[in-house]
Amino acid sequence: MEDKLIKERLKKLEFLKSKGKNPFDIYTYRVNSNSEKVLEENKKLKKEEKTNKKVSLAGRIITLRGMGKASFAHIQDEKGKIQIYVRKDEIGEDYELFKNLDLGDIIGVEGNVFKTGRGEVSVWVKKLDILSKSLRPLPEKWHGLKDKEIRYRQRYVDLIVNPEVKDVFIKRSKIISLMREYLDEKEFLEVEIPTLQQVYGGANARPFETHLNALNIKLFLSISPELYLKRLIVGGLEKVYTLCKNFRNEGVDKTHNPEFTMMECYSTYDDYEDVMKLTEEMVEYIVKKVNGSTKVKYQGKTIDFKAPWKRIPMKKAIKTHLKIDVDELDDKKLKEVLKKNKIEYEGDFSRGLAIQLIFEELVEDKLIQPTFVIDHPKESTPLCKKKRGDKELIERFEVFINGWEFANAYSELNDPILQKKLLEEQEEKGRGGDEEAHPMDEDFIRSLEYGMPPTGGLGIGVDRLVMLLTNAESIRDVILFPMMRPEK
């Protein structure tokens, strides 16, 4: 059926060309307004009142209704849609061309604004230009593009027939702009880090590998900007941030995409307490600017981003939600908790990692309101300073909202001797088969040996923030081109 419709449209294209109106020969078209502006400026017109002001608009035909020598249509531009009224006695021979147009074709119109007898602000067309021919039919608005797989794969069609999708990405752009605005006002400097890296690092994740032919070397797509941003701190840039893509060779689900957007920032002479304050204030600022309130409705829940947010140590969170005091359990009993709850543990046993797994598997999803989970086991990362007063813990926090990990931060480790030792231990784990172990980065260690000041660092998952502020069910709803399986 689709092939037949495409053939019919190709015939219409040939007809247009035969009349000297090849739409693909058009290079420019000047507009002086848009649908939203015209509707707003003329909403007080009386029925059947016509203005003398001429407007020039362009857009895609999304409805078409012919009535012999006069027709109505709606064209859609970036700001919305507006009705046009086309008469044969106004545009002459071009009316025959208009009657050969299809839904999806892109046209430019000039004319006067008026209000119909039914009260709809419209454009009375005096001149019409065909700017592009749509060779493939659009799906029907209410019956066509509802299949999510097709929507994600053909986002260009999704944006045409589901205008509310466009609103999500406009809001996404605003969220990112506000994040930059907040950090710029705090005198952070935006920087760029390499996406292609000889040594990946900054997170426990499996990387994507590639090969640089010119130097005949293996390269990795960045899993985190952390180690490069710390090099800049060593170099004397005291407050830096980047908004970048991270690439992690992991599964795809409602909150994970192998390519995702991260904001990461570092501030000298700050610790994780200072970074907590920065985090809650920045996110509250963004939410209020975007939504007009700190309270957001998400999938039936009300989430309040008003600062200050709750703070809870990881062990206390486990005790609160599971009634388990991990400090009272020996290794044997910790293993029993893992086994009872069917939590898989790979490699040599570590109390700290066991505690972290119990938290991740059994507690995370219970943290709905914004919560700082602080004081993680030292084994959870090699890049963080030990907690003052308890050497088994580190000064790390993660933010959880709606049961998701949303942000990660440390009082950054700046001891090059200890850092080298911890990365060597991680490298040994990698040799033992742990594909997410942190590799050794000799140049990063060398940079620390020049001296890095005390520093607080933060990473925020931008896509998940957009999900929360747009009520998006899946991360694929807030990424214009999410990862999909090949069509064939």
Question: How do residues 388-402 score in pLDDT, each as one tens digit?
Answer: 999 999 999 999 999
For the ranges 99-113, 339-353, 375-389, which has the lowest average pLDDT?
A: 339-353
Can you tell me the mean pLDDT for 362-380? 97
Q: Which DSSP letter does residue 328 get? A: G
In a domain, residue 332? The reply is no
pLDDT band at 427 (very low <50, low <70, confident <90, very high): confident
Say if CB 334 and CB 354 are below 8 A apart.
Answer: yes
pLDDT at residue number 348: 84
User: Given this model, what pLDDT does residue 184 score?
Assistant: 98
Specify the pLDDT at position 150: 86
* Same domain membership, residue 294 and residue 411: yes
CATH code of 206's domain: 3.30.930.10
- Note whether 38 and 93 are same-domain residues: yes
Indicate if 468 and 420 belong to the same structural domain: yes
Cα–Cα distance between 225 and 192 in angstroms, integer?
9
Mean pLDDT of the region 369-389: 96
Count of Cβ atoms closer than 10 Å to residue 21 Cβ: 17
pLDDT at residue number 163? 85
Q: What is the mean pLDDT of residues 23-34?
A: 97
Q: At 265, give phi and psi (nearest 5°).
A: -140, 155
Whether residues 275 and 421 share a domain: the answer is: yes
Q: Are residues 91 and 189 in the same domain?
A: no
Predicted pLDDT at 429? 75
Is residue 441 in a domain?
yes
The mean predicted confidence, pLDDT, of the chain is 94
pLDDT in tens, 185-219: 999 999 999 999 999 999 889 999 999 999 999 99
Q: Are residues 36 and 170 in the same domain?
A: no
Taking residues 247-272, report their average pLDDT.
96
In this structure, are 274 and 421 located in the same domain?
Answer: yes
End-of-domain residue from the set 138, 172, 188? 138
The alpha carbon of residue 2 and the mean position of all alpha carbons in its chain are separated, in whole angstroms, by: 33
Digit-coded pLDDT (tens) for 144-186: 556 788 889 999 999 998 889 999 999 999 999 999 999 999 9
Please tell me the total count of domains within the chain: 2
> Could you tell me the pLDDT band of residue 426, with boundaries at 50, 70 and 90?
confident
By percentage, how much of the chain surpasses pLDDT 90? 88
Q: Facing residues of 309 across strands? A: none
Using alpha carbons, select from 329, 383, 369 the residue that is nearest to residue 351: 329
CB-hemisphere CA count at 13 Å for 222? 19
CATH number at residue 25: 2.40.50.140
Residue 145 lies in a domain: no
Of 138, 171, 189, the one marking the end of a domain is 138
pLDDT at 432: 54
CA–CA separation, 470 and 176 (whole Å): 13
* Residue 316, in any domain of the structure: no
Handedness of CA 61, 141, 2, 483 (dihedral sign): positive
Per-residue pLDDT at 142: 46
Q: Is the pLDDT of residue 461 over 80?
A: yes
353 in any annotated domain: no
207 and 89 within one domain: no
Residue-level pLDDT at 346: 80
Q: How many CA atoms lie within 13 A of 381 on its CB side?
A: 24
Instruction: Answer whether residue 55 is part of any domain.
Output: yes
**Model confidence, pTM:** 0.93
User: Is residue 345 scored above 50 in pLDDT?
Assistant: yes
**Mean pLDDT across 43-61:** 95
On whether both 63 and 205 belong to a single domain, the answer is no
Of the three residues 138, 169, 203, the one that is the final residue of a domain is 138
Same domain, 56 and 130: yes
Residues 174 and 277 in one domain: yes
Query: Residue 196: which domain range?
Result: 161-309+369-477
181 lies in some domain: yes
Together in a domain, 220 and 263: yes
Q: What pLDDT does 347 receive? A: 81
Is there a domain that residue 342 lies in? no
